[in-house]
């Protein structure tokens, strides 16, 4: 049995790798080592499993995590961004500067869907990446995630505790502050996705597949007017796919 883990800025998501994907997905706060240990001890396995993980945190955190986890695993391997993998090429001048979670999704999307793909990853930040069916990463965009967007209002009187919610009216122009902030965020994200999609579609002369992943995947997908594939745990699925393919 193998375990895959997606270590983000605020959460660690862990799952069991299966032949056709993943199972037993659990999410923990990044520093919740006590419950992570409980989860690992609850798994039924005869031999120590292998851990294959992606992390966007610094090396000091990774060292602390590995020290805590090493007794549970036969082997622990970090997935890193590389110049190329599985016939997919990284567009960054310095390959390691591309987040390993994004790189995993880029590689897996090209291999799994075998089409031109737009990957929208919704977490602490929202990233959009384009990869051709031939494995060329064309680059992407990064925008603020929901928490960062709301933080820009934190110094404004009466807006400190505002939350993003579904608005009752779908009008673009709202007549109250909460509605304007919510629709403003939705418009920022959807306009960016639509713009990237249309340009990529034009350049590739194809109809790209849009995959939306991450904690806010379903919410963001509900705003987009193009058909999408919602995969909240696509980083974990991508890691499992890559582990099986390497």
Q: Which tens digit of pLDDT belongs to each residue from 101-153?
A: 999 999 999 999 999 999 999 988 999 999 999 999 999 999 998 888 888 88
Residues 84, 213 contacting (CB under 8 angstroms): no
3-state secondary structure of 75: strand
Nearest to 77 by CA among 4, 23, 19: 4
Burial of 156 (0-12, 13-18, 19+ CB in 10 A): exposed
Find out whether 161 and 141 touch, Cβ atoms under 8 Å.
no
pLDDT tens readout for residues 64-91: 988 988 999 999 999 999 999 999 999 9
Q: Rounded to two decimals, what is the model's pTM?
A: 0.93
Question: Which pLDDT belongs to residue 113?
Answer: 97
Model pLDDT, residue 169: 64
Residue 166 has pLDDT above 70, yes or no: no
Exposed e or buried b per residue across 177-194, where buried means at least 16 C-beta atoms within 10 angstroms of its C-beta: eebebbbebbeebbeebe
From the number of C-beta atoms within 10 Å of its C-beta (0-12, 13-18, 19+), residue 33 rates as: middle
Q: Which domains does the chain have, with CATH numbers?
A: 2-78 (3.30.420.40), 84-234+241-245 (3.30.420.40)
- 23 has a pLDDT exceeding 70: yes
């Amino acid at each position: 049995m193998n375990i895959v883990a997606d270590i983000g800025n605020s959460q660690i998501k862990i799952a069991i790798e299966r032949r056709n994907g993943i199972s037993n997905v659990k999410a923990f706060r990044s520093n919740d080592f006590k419950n992570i240990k409980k989860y690992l001890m609850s798994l039924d396995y005869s031999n120590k499993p292998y851990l294959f993980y992606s992390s966007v945190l610094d090396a000091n955190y990774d060292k602390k995590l590995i020290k805590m986890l090493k007794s549970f695993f036969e082997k622990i391997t970090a997935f890193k961004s590389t110049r190329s993998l599985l016939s997919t090429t990284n567009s960054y001048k310095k390959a390691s500067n591309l987040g390993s979670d994004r790189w995993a999704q880029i590689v897996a999307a090209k291999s799994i869907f075998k089409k031109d793909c737009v990957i929208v990853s919704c977490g602490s930040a929202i990233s959009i990446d384009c990869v051709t069916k031939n494995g060329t990463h064309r680059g992407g965009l990064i925008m603020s995630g929901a928490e960062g967007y709301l933080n820009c209002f934190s110094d404004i009187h009466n807006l400190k505790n505002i939350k993003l919610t579904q608005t009752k009216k779908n009008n673009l122009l709202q007549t109250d502050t909460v509605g304007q902030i919510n629709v403003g965020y939705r418009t920022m994200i959807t306009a960016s996705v639509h713009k990237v999609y249309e340009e990529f579609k034009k350049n590739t002369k194809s109809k790209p597949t849009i995959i939306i992943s991450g904690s806010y995947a379903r919410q963001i997908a509900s705003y987009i007017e193009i058909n999408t594939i919602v995969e909240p745990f696509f980083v974990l699925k991508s890691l499992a796919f890559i582990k099986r393919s390497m």
